[in-house]
Amino acid sequence: MSASSPAPFRVAIAGASGYVGGELLRLLLAHPDFEVVQATSESSAGQPLTRLHPHLRGRTALRFVPLAELQPVDVLVSALPHGALAVRLPELESLATAILDCSADFRLSEPQHYEQWYGEAHPCPEQLGQWVYGLPEARRDALRGARRVSGVGCNATAVNLALLPLARAGLLPADGRVIAEVKAGSSEGGRSARASSHHPERSGVLRSFAPVGHRHTAEVEQLHGLRQVHLSITSIDRVRGAAATVQLFPEQLPSERELWTIYREATAEEPFLRAVHERSGAFRHPDLKLLDGTNYADLGWARDETTGRLVLLSALDNLGKGAAGSAVQCLNLMHDLPETRGLDFAGIFPA
């Protein structure tokens, strides 16, 4: 950084021991405009960050600190478990000019919806609706200069981005009814092992995880104003990734040419959305294999003229575009930085 360059924004990451925390560290340690100065973990306080995130060897000498030792910073990014920031908000918001919360604490705008989907009353309901939903493709203008931003649900993001081209074209079903199925990698379950995530039990699965009632349904309904989102989640034998298949019946099925126009217009100004719809080849539809570690979301479609059904497809890295990548994209917008800064990794192939 030259002598005339502005000083980087000082960042603390609360709850940095998990997979989302590790992805935030990977992205922000390499970011030219942010400096990670603290990272918290209660169980690993005093340990080097690289003890839990060995891929960061040689990139940082920081050690974890307990949450109580956080110092004032420009930006606090919270990767704490759901519910943890909301109960400590008065204490933690005094430490930072801007806060981005990767949990579900402030994603929903209505207290009754939070209670419906999370099974308990929100600890600070007056805050709901005061945070900007952190999906840049849908909330870009509101994110510019924002100081309170929520994260996004990875499965919700896969569905929301699949729907986005049709939403922009005004072609979502009038009755608000869509059926969505997301295939999800094991990292969605977090770092703490459970019976269902123990490797001998998890390896090789194609398992229905949440056939009904998944909490991310609420984000899809809220973002697109839909009334009947039927969402199912299936666990697959993969570490990273969320791939959505969304089925709907528009009043009039667009032609293939019309769909190309819709998708080109929807992705033309979006740096991380790509239309994928090839006539042949192994990768003619969006494919998780190409997206590990990236902030891209690939979008596609298929038409069924016999029934009038339209199938929307999307694929993304649940830890990238579905969590930490979108978070960094939001931080760029919040601080008037180029939106793509620090997010230019294109993935690898073959993988």
By annotation, the residues acting in catalysis are: 154
Query: Is the peptide bond between 350 and the residue preceding it cis, with omega within 30 degrees of 0?
Result: yes
Sign of CA dihedral 235, 320, 16, 82: negative
Q: Which residues pair with 316 in a beta bridge?
A: 242, 297
The answer to whether 105 touches 153, Cβ cutoff 8 Å, is no
In this structure, which long-range contacts are made by residues 307-310, counting pairs with CB atoms below 8 Å and at least 24 apart in sequence?
307/249, 308/249, 308/250, 308/253, 309/247, 309/248, 309/249, 309/253, 310/166, 310/247, 310/248, 310/249, 310/250, 310/253, 310/254
**What is the Cα–Cα distance from 189 to 105, expressed in whole angstroms?**
18
Which CA distances in Å does 126 have to 93, 97, 131, 268, 307? 15, 20, 11, 38, 46
**What is the Cα–Cα distance from 11 to 349, expressed in whole angstroms?**
32
> What is the per-residue burial (b if ≥16 Cβ within 10 Å, else e) of 248-273?
beeeebbeeeebeebbeebbeebbbb
Helix axes 217-224, 111-118, angle to 10 degrees: 150
